[in-house]
Amino acid sequence: MLGKITYHKPINMVVFVNIIAYAFLIFKDKPYQWHALLMYCVVVTMICTVYCVIIKKKLGEGYLFLIVSMLLSIGIMMIYRLNPDRGYKQVVWSLIGIFVFFTSYYLYQKSNKWHKYTYFYIAISVILYLITFVFGTTINGARNWIVIGSYSFQPSELNKIIFIFFLACYFKNPDKLFIQKFHYDENVKIIVNRVLLMFVTYINIGFLVFQREWGITALFLLIYLVVLYVYGKGKYFFVINLALILPVAIIGYKFFYHIRVRVETWIDPWSDILGKGYQITQSLFAIGSGGFFGTGLGMGKPYLIPEVSTDFIFSAICEEMGILTGAAIVLLYMLLFYRGIKIVLSIRSKFERIVALGITVMIGIQTFIIIGGVIKLIPLTGITLPFVSYGGSSLVTNFITLGILQAISNCDFSSEGEFNG
Amino acid sequence: MAHALNQKGNGIFGGGVKVFEIILLLVKVLFALVIYLFIFGIVRLIYLDIKSMNISKVNINKGFPYLKLVNKREYLHFKVEETYILSKNITIGRYDKNDIVIKDSFISGIHAQITKGDSKIYLKDLGSKNGTFINGKKLEEGEQKLLKDGDKMKIGQLEFLFVEGSELV
């Protein structure tokens, strides 16, 4: 009986993890924190309801949301422990995110013309960049926030999705997107197409560099290269693109103080431990002090790390829940990535296949960049850990991508209506 | 931070901080364990998923009899394989517990059964609503019929061609 519950319904495990975590949070201090119980109820109700809706309504893949619900609940409990106010906000953002998840699911299934809006995608992304450029506010060294009243959001998060859609439009028929009406030689057409593709990509990257968004810049570049590698035609074009990274990186290193600091602290954070190396060394101390099973939720000192609820949430999780939980999170992302690739393999339409691949690769690379950054495997760049980090725009964007992936996974074998038993 | 808990530990267990620490450790271990159980649960589900996906492709060359889809797969809006290998007794239907799961709304939950007996293949209708047809003839409920090479089997919207592999010859 017990075996049946635990094995066949992993959703019970998510509930159980939440019970243990909020028990920690309730009883860690006297007087007991009973409003943590409320948090628990809201989170668990939210996750179970959505899971039931997905299963009962047969909205395709059940695993995607299952994995995400585990990541989401670990993120919420950690943020709530670090800062209760942010915890409440994160729950509200999750509710909005879930609403957006279903909306994007239905919107994506409603229309089958997503591959026709190429110029629209380019225009929208440029407009978003220009809006950020004009009305943007600088928060934490990156000029990428738009503040309206007490709310702020990052348009560059949305641009990730738009860029993936653009890439899918282009690679649906590789090198045959632009100037098909003109009567040029085929080779000339292909070259013009490729130049235009690189032009659009580097415009994106240029705007992002201008906003000092190093993490997302790297993300765009890597998504572009992966999609090009998988679906592009012509070996030399890929090699040229790959080779172009080198001068871009060197220019970045020479001319941008920020990048130089990041690389220097990556190589040796200990020489300036109270200044430039403070973030990364605190993160390493936190991960180290956790041990295998962590200090217990609410009993460590993760608040010593700067930016702990956004960029460094992985270190906080490692400190309070142990390196085993940290490894489990990496495993969860691997499973998510694997499910995404499986969806990619099962679809016939090329456009949707590329969109699904782009989304899957985006989640994978984003995880690698930030987890690699906080454990000092690669230079640290500020980017959010999908579904775990605090942040409204990032969470909502991730839920949009998840909704699209869910819709794609359900495209081919939707069984409509039941005529008999 | 942990003061309140420490005091509580002292209050309940005369043993003091040590007992409390052991309980804390156990709870932490349990926490990590549950997360890993969750992962194993998902891995298991994925394993079952892939197994059902690839089972037909592995034995294709071993000479087993098989069912070949006659319909064009592109026009169907549900998942169906090109061939289904009949290496053991199987059931066909819409429910997930069947060996061949086809989410066609004209196929019943448990639609038909294919049994293998003394190197012959039999088809049996398990009380389906829209019937099972062999070469255009409807099978009665519970009726068992021997399948011969080249027989056309129709269930739901789908039509299959039965091919005897070299194993039976």
Q: Is B12 on the interface with A (CB under 8 A)?
A: no
Q: Which residue of A has its CA nearest to B39?
A: A332
Q: How confident is the model at residue A349 (pLDDT cuts 50, 70, 90)?
A: confident
- pLDDT > 80? residue A130: yes
Q: Which residue of B has its CA nearest to A417?
A: B105
- Count Cβ–Cβ pairs < 8 Å, chain A vs chain B: 116
Q: Is B73 on the interface with A (CB under 8 A)?
A: no
Measured between beta carbons, the chain B residues lying within 8 angstroms of A16 are 34
- pLDDT > 90? residue A133: no
Measured between beta carbons, the chain B residues lying within 8 angstroms of A7 are 41, 44
User: Between these two residues, B78 and A70, which has the higher pLDDT value?
Assistant: A70
Would you call B36 and A328 a contact, using CB atoms and an 8 Å cutoff?
A: yes
Q: Whole-angstrom Cα distance, residue A338 to residue B128?
A: 37
Q: Is B130 on the interface with A (CB under 8 A)?
A: yes
CA distances (Å), origin A271, targets A48, A257, B44: 49, 18, 47
Displacement of CA A38 from its chain's centroid (Å): 28
Would you call B28 and A293 a contact, using CB atoms and an 8 Å cutoff?
A: yes
Measured between beta carbons, the chain B residues lying within 8 angstroms of A298 are 1
Q: Whole-angstrom Cα distance, residue A61 to residue A6?
A: 20
Q: Is A150 on the interface with B (CB under 8 A)?
A: no
Q: Whole-angstrom Cα distance, residue A355 to residue A362?
A: 10
Would you call A28 and B45 a contact, using CB atoms and an 8 Å cutoff?
A: no
Q: How confident is the model at residue B13 (pLDDT cuts 50, 70, 90)?
A: very low
Q: How confident is the model at residue B61 (pLDDT cuts 50, 70, 90)?
A: low
Q: Is A418 on the interface with B (CB under 8 A)?
A: yes
Would you call A13 and B37 a contact, using CB atoms and an 8 Å cutoff?
A: yes
Q: What would the two tokens of residue B22 be?
A: 């052991």
Residue A218: enclosing H or E segment and its boundaries? helix A214-231
pLDDT of residue A8: 55
User: Between these two residues, A46 and A9, which has the higher pLDDT value?
Assistant: A46
Q: What would the two tokens of residue A86 be?
A: 């942010």
**Strands B100-101, B90-93: pairing kind:** parallel
Mean pLDDT, chain A, integer: 86
H-only helix segments in chain B: 3-12, 17-58
- pLDDT > 90? residue A372: yes
- pLDDT > 60? residue A110: yes
What strands lie across the sheet with A142-148, from one edge to the other?
A137-139, A142-148, A151-153
* Buried b or exposed e, range A243-253, using 16+ CB within 10 angstroms: eeeeeeeeebe
**ipTM value:** 0.83
Whole-number percent of chain A with pLDDT over 90: 41
Q: Is B8 on the interface with A (CB under 8 A)?
A: yes
Would you call A10 and B32 a contact, using CB atoms and an 8 Å cutoff?
A: no
- Among the ranges given (A136-150, A167-181, A279-293), the one the predictor scored with the smallest mean pLDDT: A136-150
Q: How confident is the model at residue B167 (pLDDT cuts 50, 70, 90)?
A: low
User: Between these two residues, A132 and B8, which has the higher pLDDT value?
Assistant: A132
- Among the ranges given (A270-279, A292-301, A377-386, B134-143), the one the predictor scored with the smallest mean pLDDT: B134-143
Phi-psi region of A140 (alpha: psi -120 to 50; beta: other; left: phi over 0): left
Residue A55: enclosing H or E segment and its boundaries? helix A35-56
- pLDDT > 80? residue A165: yes
